[in-house]
Structure 1
Amino acid sequence: MENNEKQVILITGATKGLGLADAIRLSKNDNNIVIVNSHRELSDDEMKALQANFDREVDVLVGDVASEEDAKSMIDTVVDKYGKIDVLVNNAGITQDTLLTRMKADSFKQVLDTNLFGVFNMTKFALKKMQKARKGCIINMSSIAGLHGNLGQANYSSTKAGLVGLTKTTAQEGSLRGIRCNAVAPGMIKTAMTDKLSDKNIKAWEEQIPSKRFGTPDEVAQVVEFLINDEYMNGQVITVDGGLTM
């Protein structure tokens, strides 16, 4: 199959965690061309470790989604090389947790810039390309924290809630030219972020989750893959949380 017949997928913040899990799962389909975004240049050792996750070499695109210039450059680079962009997975995100009364304005803004403005930047430029092609799919990584809030995460929760509105608006505007947009809202997933929790906190969370365990990154990636493939899914927010918020 020629490259222009394959599905071109760009995943932001995909060198670890949920983004990497998305890239690994989607790259197993030979009809997909997966491009991994990193916010910084990787060392040779980091690049080798990243590529070891894949059966074939994947492109690594360096750029900060919070930068409008970088966002435009990344989308242009993908389209210049492959002639199109079929799927954008907006996964890049950061946390700077503390109680609201202790939170510095800079901490709120930095999380806002990456988690919400970053998605706006990438979506804006990808959508322009997709509209010309009258085809495309955008998936935003929200969180149950954006649906229900979370102690110590006023900044993070605000951005993830903002993504819900951005997702639905993008779906409405995109559908005029055949583009879909959905969001995934993970709950407690086994990542480097949750690995920092104490055994006591982990046990407390597991007792609250009906499934009695944390999810895996690949279980989130399966939903991302589903949303890419199901062409009737549009404007939806799918929770992946073991029933925690039902």
Structure 2
Amino acid sequence: MRLQDKVAIITGAARGIGQGAAEVFCREGATVIIWDVLEEGEATAQSLTDRGYRASFMPVSTTDVPRIEAAARDVVDRYGRIDILINNAGITRDKTLLKMSYDDWQQVIDVNLSGVFNCTKVVAPYMVEQQYGRIICTSSINGVHGAFGQTNYAAAKAGIIGMVRTWAKELGPKGITANAVAPGYIRTPMTDAMPEEVRKQAVSSIPVRRMGEPSDIAYAYLFLASDEASFVNGHVLAVNGGQAL
């Protein structure tokens, strides 16, 4: 029970990596609040509560600052604190530079980069007040190394690394750590939508010869959220099966 009595907000936890994280965090004793725009978040939270865990769902868009502010206040009013923020929500709008529209660019930047800023900007003051917090943001292997057809996504995920390292310096003295996880190819609805041939090529480039599972990332989140990682700050944890070293 490494997160006993901790209160965790996980964005984009209706499905995929975020859903896997919600399950792991609940099993480790946390109260989990799912922030997502997908109505599936309600069913995800219900399945956790049906198993005796403490979980709830709030419809929240990471691009809607007033809604984020109201939801954060609701969490603090109900539970008294926010210990952990997992900035996991993200989207893709993949196209090569010459085909990418300005709207494709802006949508991904708004959710994947500005959304992380928005949620952290709102939640961090509560953590400062209690002199404790864990901020964990989802970057990507493609934010470190780039990827064909992902100018917008790679830029956002690289920007997350810069923000995390800045927050580590600013918030560390206040009892708050900020870290990032950079997943490789993970089996999610996002990767399921990739053409089969592309998936096969991806797996062939991974030394362990498989895609990651949501639980692989969830356990990385768990470590960084735990007291065992209290001296880990400003780090980018690569979880990619050795695809990029």
Please give the TM-score of this superposition, normalised by the length of structure 1. 0.92
Q: What is the match of residue 36 of structure 2?
A: 38
Matching of residues 19-168 of structure 1 within 5 Å: 19-30=18-29, 32-40=30-38, 42=39, 47-48=42-43, 51-53=46-48, 55-56=51-52, 58-168=55-165
In 2 relative to 1, CA 152–12 (structure 1 residues): closer, same or farther, beyond 3 Å?
same
TM-aligned CA deviation for residue 53 of structure 1: 4.9
CA contact 2:45–2:57 (8 Å) conserved in 1: no
Per-residue CA shift, 1:43-78, capped at 9, x if unaligned?
A: 7xx734652255235210111111121221221111
Per-residue CA shift, 1:133-165, capped at 9, x if unaligned?
A: 111000001101100111111111100000000
SS at match of 1:52: helix
Q: Compare 78-87 and 64-73 and name the one that shifted more.
A: 64-73
Amino acid in structure 2 at the alignment position of 1:236: H
Matching of residues 206-225 of structure 1 within 5 Å: 206-225=203-222
TM-aligned CA deviation for residue 197 of structure 1: 2.4
Identity over aligned residues, as a percent?
A: 37
In 2 relative to 1, CA 176–209 (structure 1 residues): closer, same or farther, beyond 3 Å?
same
Amino acid in structure 2 at the alignment position of 1:11: I
TM-aligned CA deviation for residue 128 of structure 1: 0.7
Q: Following the alignment from structure 1 to structure 2, what is the Cα–Cα distance between the partners of residues 8 and 134?
A: 14
Q: Following the alignment from structure 1 to structure 2, what is the Cα–Cα distance between the partners of residues 47 and 238?
A: 30
In 2 relative to 1, CA 62–202 (structure 1 residues): closer, same or farther, beyond 3 Å?
same
Amino acid in structure 1 at the alignment position of 2:15: K
Q: Following the alignment from structure 2 to structure 1, what is the Cα–Cα distance between the partners of residues 105 and 195?
A: 25
Q: Compare 76-85 and 51-60 and name the one that shifted more.
A: 51-60
Q: Following the alignment from structure 2 to structure 1, what is the Cα–Cα distance between the partners of residues 153 and 219?
A: 24
Q: Following the alignment from structure 2 to structure 1, what is the Cα–Cα distance between the partners of residues 113 and 44?
A: 29
Per-residue CA shift, 1:14-62, capped at 9, x if unaligned?
A: 10111111001110123x111111225x27xx73465225523521011
Q: What is the match of residue 173 of structure 1?
A: 170
Amino acid in structure 1 at the alignment position of 2:68: A
Q: Following the alignment from structure 1 to structure 2, what is the Cα–Cα distance between the partners of residues 146 and 71?
A: 25
Q: Following the alignment from structure 1 to structure 2, what is the Cα–Cα distance between the partners of residues 64 and 199?
A: 31
Please give the TM-score of this superposition, normalised by the length of structure 2. 0.93
Q: Following the alignment from structure 1 to structure 2, what is the Cα–Cα distance between the partners of residues 195 and 129?
A: 37
Amino acid in structure 1 at the alignment position of 2:118: N
SS at match of 1:102: coil
Q: What is the match of residue 15 of structure 1?
A: 14
Q: What are the ranges of 5 or more consecutive residues in structure 1 without an aligned counterpart?
A: none
CA contact 2:14–2:44 (8 Å) conserved in 1: no
Q: Following the alignment from structure 1 to structure 2, what is the Cα–Cα distance between the partners of residues 209 and 48?
A: 33
Amino acid in structure 1 at the alignment position of 2:187: K
CA contact 2:46–2:56 (8 Å) conserved in 1: no
Q: Following the alignment from structure 1 to structure 2, what is the Cα–Cα distance between the partners of residues 179 and 164?
A: 16
Q: Following the alignment from structure 2 to structure 1, what is the Cα–Cα distance between the partners of residues 80 and 113?
A: 27
Q: Compare 21-30 and 67-76 and name the one that shifted more.
A: 67-76
